[in-house]
Amino acid sequence: MTHKEPLIEFRDVVKAYGTGEAEVRALDGVDLKVRDGEFVAVMGSSGSGKSTTMNILGCLDVPTSGHYLFRGVDVGELDRNQRARLRRHYLGFVFQGFNLLKRTTALQNVALPLIYRKMPARERNRRAKAAPKAVGLADRMHHSSSELSGGQQQRVAIARAIASDPAILLADEPTGNLDSERSHDIMRLLRKLNEEDGITILLVTHEDDMAEYAKRQVMFRDGRIVSDTGVQLREAI
Amino acid sequence: MLTTLGIAMREIAANWLRSLLTTLGIIIGVGAVIIVVSLGNGATQRVQNDLSELGNNLLALVPGDQNQGSANRLVEMFNMDDVEALRAEIPTIAMATGVLTQVATVVYGNENYYSSVRGTDNDYLTIRNLDVGLGRSFTESELRAGRAVCILGETPRRELFGVQNPVGAEIRISTNSGNNTCEVIGVLTERGADTFGNDQDDYMLAPLNFVQRRVAGNRDVTLIFLTATSEAEREKAIEDVTLLMRERRRVRDEDESDFFIQDLKQVQEQVAQVTGIMTLFVSAIAAISLIVGGIGVMNVMLVSVTERTREIGIRLAIGALERDVLTQFLVEAILLSVLGGIIGVAFGVGISYLAAGALDFPFVVSQSAVVIAVAFSGLIGIIFGFFPAWRAARLNPIDALRYE
């Protein structure tokens, strides 16, 4: 898992909404590199640009100017379907609102991205059964998502995100809808996945104690990065 | 693909009442087409059966003009010489038999019944495909001498004799010309009602000579049945008969014939034509119903896309291509329409079955109509499902994920 180029690289990324006088810059010249195996927390208050960063990282949105390189590929030059393919093969998403499909069992939710990857049924079943074990939720996989608690739903969502073996797991406020105890459970799970399974994780949060679980904290304010412990660390060495 | 179908099935089942109401237009449209086509085919087949029972290549020579028929009293009737001439002079005619029909009150014991007496000969039985089920047909001498013997149809037999054996019994036939005693020598095998519900067993046969002299009191022949030598010679026979009869009846060249030939083949074609027009007419109405049904499907799919915006967002985020989402919703619309079509077929076939039983038509389901109806409802699904599916596929994943 050694790549010369960073897994993710933002070069002077700007994201602007509106035009002229009404122009609002959600991101205003962001440079960021994330390497394989990292666990990065992107922090900031609401409106700081962290959600926009997440959308661009997730290939759901493209920069107005600047470049977003994923393994050296400029995502800004990809069309909608190419970005969907990139998501399909390299990205795993965990959302604040869990975003599981209703009226669908936990197991089927986990299998969904594998279906889109056109994985053969046997391999798909094997993976869809293995992933829940990694998140400590093997026994309730045949329950419909609405029958699960918030913490359990988020575990299913994490299982769904890692089942396809992504290059990076993008977690957007994964603890935002959970109480403190469940939040810490989820964060410990993410840390375990990073440390033991080597999964690269990028976490967006506004809670300091959640960000503590990550190895590196990047602080956003008004569309710019104001501090980055990874860079400080490297500069210090 | 199987998974897509499974998902679509689950979605339809989860909202089954909505799905059913949505497809009502398609159900009614398809059902109507199936009913009309089935009953149309049934009617056509029924008429064909009736006509082949009546006899192949059967032509009926009727005095009077086509519109008024022989109801006009001034019309000159035929006579036995006409029949002899037709037999002798026209090679394309296989058989000819003259008939004189006279309505009469028939009495046996305390029972009396108003029916018609047809004076004719044994050729009548052959030409009309009739069997004498009980007893016997006429002998040559009975016909020549005009003996007072008769063969009963099933209806007068039932009315007069009930469960008794009528053969050998004497009945009384009474008309304006007087009362005649007549011996029953046979009973015709029952034929039942025809397509239009007419009783085909309500008459009796007797030698022509007897009916002319004793029952009707004249020498008329009111109807001549003919058969052509073959199907191919039918047209030629009609032509020859017309020429000969015009000559015999001294119709001037510039005048219309004072008789006409009823060709049962024509009747058959007319029935087929009428059912064809009916089918076309109802199909047009059904097409409108199907389009309305299609709009219903489009409407419910649009609602479904809106309801499931978030789901679409999730799918797009975890790697569904536009094409995947498009396919998913399109398959759902097609499935919805095809299910409607299948229910419509089932409904139509059921109603046709009941109606065919009630109308005493043969129950015929047109396989091509079933296939076309289901395929057409699938097409409706594609046409009206495409726009909602395209809308779903084009959703922006960020907005879709944020949609509450």
Query: What distance in Å separates residue B276's CA from the closest CA in chain A?
Result: 49
For A81, the closest chain B residue by CA position comes to B321
Do B112 and B41 lie in a common domain? no
Q: What is the mean pLDDT of residues A210-237?
A: 85
Q: ipTM, 2 decimals? A: 0.89
Query: What distance in Å separates residue A92's CA from the closest CA in chain B?
Result: 7
Do B162 and B107 lie in a common domain? yes
| Domain annotation covers residue A67 | yes
Chain segment A1-48, per-residue pLDDT in tens: 444 678 999 999 999 988 888 888 899 999 999 999 999 999 998 888
Beta-strand ranges (E) seen in B189-299 are 204-207, 223-228, 259-263
CA A220 to CA B5: how far, in whole Å? 45
Per the structure, the count of domains in chain B is 2
Do B252 and B314 lie in a common domain? no
| Domain annotation covers residue A118 | yes
Answer yes or no: do A84 and B310 touch at CB < 8 A.
no
Return the HEC string of B366-398.
CHHHHHHHHHHHHHHHHHHHHHHHHHHHCCCHH
Answer yes or no: do A87 and B318 touch at CB < 8 A.
yes
Which residues are A41's β-sheet partners? A203, A217
| Domain annotation covers residue A1 | no
| Domain annotation covers residue A58 | yes
SS3 B7: helix
> Which residue segment(s) compose the domain that B155 sits in?
77-257
| Domain annotation covers residue B63 | no
| Domain annotation covers residue B69 | no
For B404, the closest chain A residue by CA position comes to A97
**What are the chain B neighbours of A146 within 8 Å (beta carbons)?**
none
Do B93 and B131 lie in a common domain? yes
| Domain annotation covers residue B217 | yes
Give the H or E element holding residue B336.
helix B322-359
Do B104 and B251 lie in a common domain? yes
Do B103 and B6 lie in a common domain? no
Do B238 and B110 lie in a common domain? yes
| Domain annotation covers residue A3 | no
Do B29 and B159 lie in a common domain? no
For A113, the closest chain B residue by CA position comes to B318
Burial class (CB in 10 A: 0-12, 13-18, 19+), B42: buried
Which residues are A14's β-sheet partners? A28, A65
CA A40 to CA A17: how far, in whole Å? 26
**What are the chain A neighbours of B4 within 8 Å (beta carbons)?**
none
Across the interface, which of A60, A115, A117 has its CB nearest the CB of B317?
A60
Do B298 and B328 lie in a common domain? yes
Scan residues 140-169 of A and list those with Cβ closer than 8 Å to B. 160-161, 164
Helices (H) and strands (E) in chain B, counts: 14, 10
> Is the distance from CB of B306 to CB of B370 less than 8 angstroms?
no
Q: Which residue in B7, B314, B318 has the most chain A C-beta atoms within 10 A of its own C-beta, making it the best mutation to test that interface?
A: B318
> Which residue segment(s) compose the domain that A232 sits in?
8-236
What pairing do the DSSP bridges indicate for beta strands B93-108 and B223-228?
antiparallel
Answer yes or no: do B321 and A117 touch at CB < 8 A.
no
**CATH code of residue A195:** 3.40.50.300
Scan residues 39-98 of A and list those with Cβ closer than 8 Å to B. 55, 58, 60-61, 80-81, 84-85, 87-89, 91-93, 95
Query: What distance in Å separates residue A108's CA from the closest CA in chain B?
Result: 11
Per the structure, the count of domains in chain A is 1
| Domain annotation covers residue A2 | no
Answer yes or no: do A84 and B315 touch at CB < 8 A.
no
Chain segment B269-296, per-residue pLDDT in tens: 777 788 788 878 888 888 888 888 899 8
Q: Which two tokens stand for residue A112?
A: 């969904």
Query: What distance in Å separates residue B23's CA from the closest CA in chain A?
Result: 23
How do the pLDDT tens digits run along chain B, 404 residues long?
Answer: 567 888 888 888 888 888 888 888 899 889 988 888 888 888 878 777 777 666 667 888 988 877 665 555 578 889 999 999 999 999 999 899 999 999 999 999 888 899 999 999 999 998 888 889 899 999 999 999 999 999 999 999 999 998 889 999 999 999 888 899 999 999 999 888 776 678 889 999 999 999 999 888 889 999 999 988 887 888 889 999 999 999 999 888 888 888 988 887 777 777 778 878 887 888 888 888 888 889 989 999 999 999 999 999 999 998 899 999 999 999 999 999 999 999 999 999 999 999 988 887 888 888 888 998 899 999 999 999 999 999 999 999 988 988 87
Answer yes or no: do B310 and A85 touch at CB < 8 A.
no
Do B273 and B244 lie in a common domain? no
| Domain annotation covers residue B72 | no
**What are the chain A neighbours of B311 within 8 Å (beta carbons)?**
101-102
Query: What distance in Å separates residue B319's CA from the closest CA in chain A?
Result: 4
Do B95 and B196 lie in a common domain? yes
Last residue of a domain, one of B225, B257, B289: B257
Answer yes or no: do A58 and B320 touch at CB < 8 A.
no
**Cα A171 to chain center, whole Å?**
4
Looking at B128-258, list the stretches that DSSP marks H as alpha helix, in order from N- to C-terminal side: 140-145, 154-161, 208-210, 234-248
Do B253 and B273 lie in a common domain? no
Answer yes or no: do B319 and A113 touch at CB < 8 A.
yes
Query: What distance in Å separates residue A1's CA from the closest CA in chain B?
Result: 23
State the amino acid at position A4 in one-letter form: K
Last residue of a domain, one of B224, B257, B290: B257
Across the interface, which of A81, A87, A117 has its CB nearest the CB of B317?
A87
